[in-house]
């Protein structure tokens, strides 16, 4: 599985244009490079259209709420060029500004992929009338009460599929159990380690990597996104093991996480991943 | 010592709202996570009040002089909610803009803790008329002539206590000898390693960690700040030893510094720290 | 070779004022510290002149196109004070904005050193009428077709010397083969490893390190720049070896790259470097 996905990235070395937040921008650039892409983190409104034109995909991150105009310019251009557009709705629900910014972006741009934690995705689903409930997000982390477990898995997958249909986007939900859903088909991936939540930006990095994988596979967004999510999960497993071997902590884990992406092969993914179609 | 301080953080997992500089923001977020908090690095003026409202403490960093309006909005809101507000006066004395910005902030916001190097703290003490002298700061590092030694320790502690009284803030001075001073009581901590000055942002990280410790212990600011400073120092000792074992340099030291915070327990702090009340 | 260059940095501990991009700013600050300098990353227009006045060199990075006014203020002040000014024309050729910004900067400021990849330097040479051709830059990485090889080396060195004369700047070209050219003399350095291109910001870091080396050696820009480039190359060799020993990837390589700069001596450089005068 995923052989051709990885080959396409290594062969085409897609340029990934990211308009992302300043907290995790360096990690995002490095994970794109590790995954075989070439990152360009330009966000000045006077150049984003030109940059996008020379790129193969676009990654938007709601953490950079200052740059909504640049995001819209780049997003519209990407849509016109039929480049994949991946959005990370970081912190949706924590402020009116973020909710309104997301709304504005989604009215102007078609997203190929939306990747967030379960609280962020539920926030969007509530907004679209797919689920009923009040967004409970307090910070940038998922709420305990929202978390995906074996018990609510079927229900969450069904929600993700409906949201995928409503938004015409692949929906990727990160957590202890990862879900990547199209309208009719979803992948459930059980890899990675809880320590990922103790490193800032593992979500942003996942989104950036999805941008690289989709940039190299623009006609196969569901599989490309699943492969990126699986690569992150398997790398998380490898990184945790190495971290323990060298008696490190969260920063050593981050190093080995990106290192493992840089050493990733389809053999390693296939050997390590636990994936299920639903 | 400090058992309950650490327990309170792990139990409450405080959300720490940081308006900080873009140089060290990633390290600050990661050290807050390592210390048991949850970082939110939002700085757009249209959302900072809402973010602060959902947080347990606020960390301001003068390195981000662009965001003074956001800092004032967030600081006033935090004061109203009685959340701890921690400020890092990075580079005070290097420019009129920073001096004026600090003045403006201190006129609008009550700081629970002010953490800086000795030159930065002396700059504030001079401004408040507590010491006489000319601020000699040339860059973001402390001046050689200002440094705290065994010889001037008593004098510096007395100055810090007076400044604590004048500002109604706990004063934390980082250096070869760390001082954390309230109006009447001060802790002197002799941990850490000179190599910390060869890594950018160890000061900012210390301030961020104080934000997490105070967020979990809002009624015990002096002890929470001392515990954070001691945790940094002990982690610096551990990190230096590990760095030598693996024949690394300054970046490996940084990794092990945050790693050690992520593995910190009150047993490790108590076993490693050299603390004295003055 | 280079003994006095390194000694001068360690003795004077130059303050290096950087106005650089937010993607790699942390790595740039850390490599300046590792190399013996003291970084100050201030970019607010109301303080850059004061900051530059207290510094020994200035590093500008076109990746931060938002701050052109600050760059011009700081650059003019540095020129007046006869401080070395080093520029990194990141992404020149990818957008009209970057081309115009570079033009504007070069009309206002004299650069001591221009460091870029071959595509960026060729872009400037084309603009100055030194070479004929169309800038082919698609992203922030050099184009395959531009790359310096044994076959075109003489031609590229001659171009770099002519550009050095036209701009009155030392020209540093990074790649598999590095070139540092004055008007009449050039150094060709064959160190480093292709994996450097898989880590974001190795170019920016190289520029920052040149800023530190020139800050400590303002009267010997060609040798200082060559020493910095050689130090980066030798550190790349050491870092790759260590990365393989610990079975790491691109992020471990980055750690050991800066670590090796922090442990650098003239003995290590001289023992490891492959340098040739042309």
Q: Is the pLDDT of residue A134 over 80?
A: no
Residues paired with B115 in a beta bridge? B172
For residue A132, what are the CA distances in angstroms to A124, A127, A143, B161? Answer: 11, 9, 16, 55
Three-class secondary structure assignment of chain C: CCHHHHHHHHHHCCEEEEECCCCCHHHHHHHHHHCCCEEECCCCCCCHHHHHHCCCEEEEECCCHHHHHHHHHHHHHHHHHCCCEEEECCCCCCCHHHHHHHHHHHHHCCCCEEEEEHHHHHHHHHHCCCCCCCCCCCCCCCCHHHCCCCCCHHHHHHHHHHHHHHHCCEEEEECCCEEEECCCCEEEECCCCHHHHHCCCHHHHHHHHHHHHHHHCCCCHHHHHHHHHHHHHHHHHHHHHHHHHCCCCHHHHHHHHHHHHHCCCHHHHHHHCCEEEC
Predicted complex ipTM: 0.95
- A215 is annotated as contributing to ligand binding: no
**Segment B159-180, tens digit of pLDDT:** 999 999 999 999 999 999 999 9
Name the average pLDDT for chain A: 95
Token pair 């004295």 is found at B276
To the nearest 10 degrees (0 to 180), the angle between helices B25-34 and B202-216 is 40
Instruction: List the Cα angle C258/C262/C268 in 5-degree steps.
Output: 100
> Which residues of C are less than 8 Å from A242 in CB distance?
247
Token duo for residue B171: 């004063």
Q: How many angstroms separate the CA atoms of B179 and C47, rounded? A: 30
**Which helix (H) or strand (E) element contains residue A173?**
strand A170-174
Average per-residue pLDDT in chain B? 95
Considering CB atoms only, which of C21, C98, C252 is closest to A259?
C252
Distance CA C1, CA B274 (A): 45
Q: What is the pLDDT of residue B131?
A: 83
Give the tokens for residue C271.
């023992």
B201 assigned to a ligand binding site? yes
What is the per-residue pLDDT for A137?
Answer: 64
Query: How much is the pLDDT for B196?
Result: 96
Closest to C226 (Cα-Cα) out of C264, C167, C273? C273
d(CA B238, CA B193): 10
Mean pLDDT value of segment A212-221: 98
Residues annotated in a binding site of C for ATP: 115, 174
Q: Nearest by CB to A22, which of B22, B33, B40?
A: B22
What CA–CA distance (Å, rounded) separates B225 from B235?
Answer: 15
The domain in which residue A80 lies consists of 3-277
Contacts of A201 in chain B (CB under 8 A): 26, 29
Q: Give the model confidence (pLDDT) of A54-92 as tens digits.
A: 999 999 999 999 999 999 999 999 999 999 999 999 999
| pLDDT higher than 80, residue A133 | no
CATH number at residue C143: 3.40.1190.20
Interface size B-C, in CB pairs within 8 Å, comes to 91
The contacts of residue B101 (CB under 8 Å, 6+ apart) are B62, B65, B68
Mutation site for A-interface testing, chosen from C25, C62, C139, C205 by largest number of A Cβ within 10 Å: C139
DSSP state of B89: -
Mean pLDDT of A254-262: 98
Place of tokens 């085409």: A12
Give the per-residue pLDDT at C223.
Answer: 97
- CA-to-CA separations, C216 to A26, C39, C84, in angstroms, rounded: 28, 13, 10
To probe the interface with B, which of C39, C51, C231 has the most B CB atoms within 10 Å?
A: C51
Question: Which residues of chain B, if any, have pLDDT below 50?
Answer: none
Assessment of whether the complete model's pTM goes beyond 0.80: yes
pLDDT of residue A145: 81
The confidence score (pLDDT) of residue A146 equals: 85
Other C-beta atoms closer than 10 Å to the C-beta of B127 total 16
Overall domain count for chain B: 1
pLDDT at A93 exceeding the cut of 70: yes
DSSP type of residue B150: T
> Which residues sit opposite A265 in a β-bridge?
none
Confidence category of residue A249, pLDDT binned at 50, 70, 90 = very high
Cα distance between the two ends of chain A:
16
Closest CA to B118 of B164, B160, B151, B167: B160
Which residue positions in chain C have pLDDT lower than 70? 133-139
Q: What pLDDT is stored for residue C101 in this prediction?
A: 97
A45 is in an annotated binding site: no
């Amino acid at each position: 599985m995923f052989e051709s996905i990885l080959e396409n990235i290594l062969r085409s070395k897609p340029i990934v244009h990211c308009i992302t937040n300043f907290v995790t921008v360096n990690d995002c650039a490095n994970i794109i490079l590790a995954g075989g892409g070439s990152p360009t983190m330009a966000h000045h409104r006077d150049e984003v259209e030109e940059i996008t034109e020379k790129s193969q995909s676009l990654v938007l991150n709601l953490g950079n709420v200052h740059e909504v105009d640049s995001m819209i310019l780049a997003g519209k251009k990407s849509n016109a060029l039929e480049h994949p557009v991946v959005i990370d709705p970081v912190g949706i629900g924590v402020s009116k500004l973020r909710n309104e910014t997301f709304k504005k972006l989604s009215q102007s741009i078609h997203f190929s992929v939306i990747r967030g934690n379960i609280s962020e995705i539920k926030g969007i689903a509530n907004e679209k009338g797919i689920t009923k409930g009040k967004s409970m997000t307090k910070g940038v982390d998922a709420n305990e009460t929202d978390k995906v477990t074996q018990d609510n898995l079927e229900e969450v997958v069904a929600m993700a599929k409906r949201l995928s249909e409503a938004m015409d986007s692949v929906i990727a939900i990160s957590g202890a159990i990862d879900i990547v859903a199209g309208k009719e088909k979803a992948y459930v991936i059980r890899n990675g380690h809880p320590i990922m939540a103790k490193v800032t930006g593992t979500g942003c990095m996942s989104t950036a990597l999805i941008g690289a994988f989709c940039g190299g596979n623009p006609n196969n967004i569901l599989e490309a996104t699943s492969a990126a999510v699986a690569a992150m999960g398997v790398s998380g497993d490898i990184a945790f093991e190495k971290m323990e071997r060298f008696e490190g902590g969260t920063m050593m884990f981050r190093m080995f996480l990106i290192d493992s992406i840089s050493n990733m092969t389809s053999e390693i993914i296939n050997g390590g991943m636990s994936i299920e179609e639903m």
